[in-house]
Amino acid sequence: MSQGNYTPRREHKFTFGLWTVGNRGRDPFGDAVRPTLTPVEAVRMLGELGAYGVNFHDNDLVPIDASPQDRDRIVNEFRSACEENGIAVPMATVNLFYDPVFRDGAFTANDKSVRAYALQKTMRAMDLGVECGAKIFVLWGGREGVETDGCRRPDEAVKRLREALNYLCEYSLDQKYVYKFALEAKPNEPRADIYMPTTGAYLALIATLDRPEMVGVNPEVAHEHMAGLNMTHSVAQAWEAGKLFHIDLNDQIPGRYDQDLRFGSANPKAAFWLVKFLEDVGYSGPRHFDAHAYRTEDYDGVKEFASGCMRTYLIFKEKSEQWNADPEIKALLAEISETSGDGRGTKFNSQHASELLSANFDRAGLAARGLKYERLDQLTMDILLGVR
């Protein structure tokens, strides 16, 4: 039952993007509601709240038009702030969506010069990440998509994306960087349709790259839910393939615009299964919150939001331990696993196949048994709702 200690500690590996706690509440219909939070202030806040690390897009830290001198000064100040506040930088990424140059996409844009600029900007962002200690590089192609499929053949876009990823892997190796790339899918927004709409689509693309071992995925709760999918299933497939290099935790009501809500706040049951999966399999990467506070909030509210993300994760972590230790749940699971095998199936050989072909199954008998999943799920609900 509840130990009541949900204080985040460094070893929980909770991370936030500069763009998350620094989100100023701008949306397509209204302007910023909060003043600018500088990167140094964000790092201080995260240190205070017990986070493990901070992540950034190149331009969250260094403005796109900064002079080389300004860049170096900003990076030095930021690195000192991280050191003073005990904040790591596990992941870096690149903004290939904000500037008007990317209106037709970045790696998939029709203009060769735009594609080359996107590569240059990404290589520089990789350099910047390395300076701050990042070992994971996330790529989210927010503008890699279309409003009209008249503009290019979609298979051409796939080829351009592959070419860019191959190039960036070689750059990383050439520079002796140790980056693992984590590709982040989203079905739409800001484009009407984005290529690589789901984590599954990226997993299929990765297998076709020159250096597939360097590239994995960064599934995001909101993005998978926008596509109507089960986030835990997407994460499980990535994990099983050895490709869960990073994760973006937040929440999302299905069928809406990208909401980036506080983790677990929209669909706590789905969030519980996700946390339980990550903890059960022993995922050891950062637990990154890619979310932001309601537009109604000031920076005290932003702190409530960030603390809430971590607190909810830790509550679900405790609930999943409780679930695993519950005697009635354990008994039900033992009953289920007796009949369901170990999930690995049977390896083919021709003798086994001929025996299987001639075997007699009691089909009606097999079908007759109730499975008690209603009871199992209600026990889960009792745990989640705090009455068990």
Residue closer to Mn ion by CB (options 126, 217) is: 217
Nearest Cα to Cα of residue 251 among 233, 234, 235, 274:
274
Kindly state the smallest distance separating residue 263's Cβ from Mn ion, in Å. Answer: 12
Smallest gap from Cβ 260 to Mn ion, in A, equals: 8
Residue nearer to Mn ion on the CB measure, 16 or 52: 16
DSSP characters for 175-236? TT---EEEEE--SSSSSSEESS-SHHHHHHHHTTSS-GGGEEE--BHHHHHHTT--HHHHHH
Nearer to Mn ion, 306 or 383 (CB): 306
Q: Which of 57, 223, 246, 288 is catalytic?
A: 57
Least distance in angstroms from the C-beta of 229 to Mn ion: 15
Under a CB-based contact definition with an 8 Å cutoff, are residues 270 and 241 in contact?
Answer: no
Q: Report the alpha-carbon distance of residue 221 to residue 198 in Å, rounded.
A: 11
Establish whether 57 is a catalytic residue. yes
DSSP state letter for 92 = E
Closer to Mn ion at the Cβ: 251 or 290? 290
**CA-to-CA distance for 183 and 93, rounded, in angstroms?**
10
Catalytic (active site) residue 225: no
Nearer to Mn ion, 250 or 320 (CB): 250
Comparison of 52 and 140: residue with beta carbon closer to Mn ion: 140
Tell me which residue has its CB nearest to Mn ion.
Answer: 290
Amino acid residing at 85: N
Which stretches of the chain bind Mn ion, using CB under 5 A? Answer: 220, 248, 290
Q: Output the smallest distance, CB 140 to Mn ion, in A.
A: 6
d(CA 186, CA 165): 17
In the block, which residue shows the tokens 């971590």?
310
Q: Least Å distance between CB 222 and Mn ion?
A: 8
Question: How is residue 292 written in tokens?
Answer: 């932001």
Q: Which two tokens stand for residue 114?
A: 């735009």
Q: Apex CA 97: angle with CA 66 and CA 224, to 5°?
A: 135
Find the catalytic residue in 58, 60, 104, 251.
60
First to last CA, the chain: 8
Q: For the CB of residue 342, give the shortest distance to Mn ion in the complex, in Å.
A: 35
In whole angstroms, what separates CA 178 from the centre of its chain?
Answer: 20
Catalytic residues: 57, 60
